[in-house]
Amino acid sequence: MKKPNVLLIVSDQLRYDCIGYSRKYPVRTPNIDRLAGDGVWFSNAYTHIPLCCPARQSLLNGRRPETFGSLWNYDLGPPIPALNPNSYSWPREMQRSGYATAYLGKWHVHPTFDPTHYGYEEYVSLQDYKLFRDERYGATGYRNGFFGETEPVPVEDARTHWMADQTIELMKRYERNPAVPWHIRLDFDEPHLPCRPSEPFASCYDPDEVPKWDNFDDSFTNKPYIQKQQLFNWGVENYEWPDWSPTVALYYAFISQMDDAIGKIVDYLDRSEMGQETLIIFTADHGDMCGAHRMMDKHCVMYQDVVHVPLIIRGKGVTPGQVREEMVYNLLDLPPTLSEWTGFAPGDFQGQSLVQLCRGSAQEWRKEIVSTYNGQQFGLFIQRMITDGHWKLVWKPTDVDELYDLQNDPAELNNLIGNTELKGVVALLRNRLYEILMQEGDTMVANPWMKRQLQKGIKQ
């Protein structure tokens, strides 16, 4: 039996609730919605670390970044190791098993070694796009910094659509040799701030009609110090919703533009003979605050805005039209999934294969998700999060812990950590978090002092 082709599309800083299929905010993503309707939509997919470099390195290796020393982004802050090219990398195993492999777009895995050192035969980089753009349009001066603005380059030559065109050209080349299966990974840099969509997408959303995030009016009462401090770090401490809504409108527009580029790829694939033989996976490394809780970017918090992410799988062997509610990792669960699906040699993975869920089967599944953060931007601020979908505990060694009732307070406005009636819930979450961290090699809790601090909630 011929092995399936694999198209993996990873977006950068895309919130779960900003996909049309989530039915939460009015972002138009008809092509991503079509993938979800034709495949499996995982409604409880989480990133295991909401930070670019460690998340991407983990995806290649199949293990948590703490196990190989990648704690934060290597290009911002104190130097930190990146994933060594001699480490296990599942694309290399795919290549060894007979796959043609190619990588396009954002890398952010190693400052020196590119994807060709991790199992990809071909690499189309963001720098390749920059050379194309500069030659055709010259240098562009932007004026609005991280808050975004309209991109002067026409959409057909925008980065989203140029990358889509490069992906289609690769698929056309692979189509000439149908006996060889292929794996293409396309990493969009969108909608990472600053959001600069081209027309007509830049004008798609009226800032006056963009609904306010349901958690925008956070008072930060009984919240960790760093959260309110973040507003001052970014200079947005006095911003009201009318100040934020133009940036959110551009964020929406950037997502819709990326969706249009994805539509070009999927349309080509479905018109070709490869469509029925290709597994399409769509996800994001993590989300983005973009004004939620009045904050910028994604640092120093574990709110749903940054840890809850989209995950869609469509293709041969997938039972279409499913919405799976299991607690899954969008990045850690993909390597064992692809190993089972395509037959390459597995590594020492820390995730679970999603194959049986994609096929519509019921099976025993994990009850909790654990996400981590190791500080770095604006100074060190370590956190460990656990959620079972109802309760969420965030442990902070240097500040107040957080407890949220996601069922009754999905906006995460009310920190319940001091509620004496919930001591039993907190104790269970603390102990389970400790067990998982120890089991998965997180040395943060390996000494008696830190173990006591986590399990007992004692910070003195």
pLDDT at 457: 81
Query: How do residues 395-454 score in pLDDT, each as one tens digit?
Result: 998 899 999 999 999 999 999 999 999 999 999 999 999 999 999 988 888 888 888 888
Range of the domain at 94: 5-358
Closest CA to 275 of 35, 33, 10: 35
Q: At which of 296, 329, 358 does a domain end?
A: 358
Asked whether residue 275 falls in the same domain as residue 422, the answer is: no
CATH code (residue 405): 3.30.1120.10
Closest CA to 290 of 47, 13, 20, 25: 13
Query: How do residues 228-268 score in pLDDT, each as one tens digit?
Result: 999 998 999 999 999 999 999 999 999 999 999 999 999 99
Closest CA to 298 of 12, 11, 10, 13: 13
What CA–CA distance (Å, rounded) separates 364 from 355? 13
Query: How do residues 59-83 score in pLDDT, each as one tens digit?
Result: 999 999 999 999 999 887 778 899 9
Mean pLDDT, all residues of the chain: 95
List phi, psi (to 5°) of 217.
-85, 45
Asked whether residue 75 falls in the same domain as residue 106, the answer is: yes
Domain count, the chain: 2
Asked whether residue 74 falls in the same domain as residue 116, the answer is: yes
Q: Are 8 and 105 in contact (CB under 8 A)?
A: no
Q: Are 29 and 255 in contact (CB under 8 A)?
A: yes
pLDDT at 103: 98
Whether residue 365 lies inside any domain: the answer is: no
Closest CA to 11 of 25, 32, 41: 32
Instruction: Please identify every stretch of the chain with a pLDDT value under 50, giving residue numbers as ranges.
Output: none
Tokens of 96: 């060894």
pLDDT at 2: 84
HSE toward the beta carbon, residue 87, CA cutoff 13 A: 24
Asked whether residue 261 falls in the same domain as residue 385, the answer is: no
For the chain, state the CA radius of gyration. 21
Q: Are 53 and 373 in contact (CB under 8 A)?
A: no
What CA–CA distance (Å, rounded) separates 12 from 444? 27
Whether residue 364 lies inside any domain: the answer is: no
Asked whether residue 344 falls in the same domain as residue 414, the answer is: no
What CA–CA distance (Å, rounded) separates 184 from 91? 10
pLDDT at 453: 83
Whether residue 321 lies inside any domain: the answer is: yes
pLDDT at 76: 78
pLDDT at 379: 66
Closest CA to 385 of 400, 369, 399: 369
Whether residue 363 lies inside any domain: the answer is: no
Asked whether residue 403 falls in the same domain as residue 336, the answer is: no
Whether residue 416 lies inside any domain: the answer is: yes
pLDDT at 459: 65
Q: How many CB atoms lie within 10 A of CB 325?
A: 12
What CA–CA distance (Å, rounded) separates 375 from 307? 15
What is the DSSP code string of 335-389? HHHHHHHH-PPP-S-SS---HHHHTT------S-EEEEEEEETTEEEEEEEEE-S
pLDDT at 292: 98
Asked whether residue 105 falls in the same domain as residue 15, the answer is: yes
Asked whether residue 110 falls in the same domain as residue 250, the answer is: yes
Helix (H, G, I), strand (E, B), or coil: what is residue 106?
coil
In our burial notation (b when 16+ CB lie closer than 10 A, e otherwise), range 46-68 reads bbbbbbbbbbbbbbbbbbbbbeb
Asked whether residue 37 falls in the same domain as residue 103, the answer is: yes
Q: At which of 333, 358, 383 does a domain end?
A: 358
Whether residue 218 lies inside any domain: the answer is: yes
* Alpha-carbon dihedral sign for residues 258, 261, 267, 273: negative
Q: At which of 358, 392, 410 does a domain end?
A: 358
What is the DSSP code string of 228-239? HHHHHHHT-TT-
Asked whether residue 201 falls in the same domain as residue 345, the answer is: yes
Whether residue 242 lies inside any domain: the answer is: yes
CATH code (residue 220): 3.40.720.10
CA angle 101, 104, 110 (to 5 degrees): 90
What CA–CA distance (Å, rounded) separates 210 from 195? 16
Asked whether residue 86 falls in the same domain as residue 133, the answer is: yes
Asked whether residue 353 falls in the same domain as residue 376, the answer is: no
Q: 159-175 and 126-137 are packed helices; what angle lies between their axes, rounded to 10 degrees?
A: 120
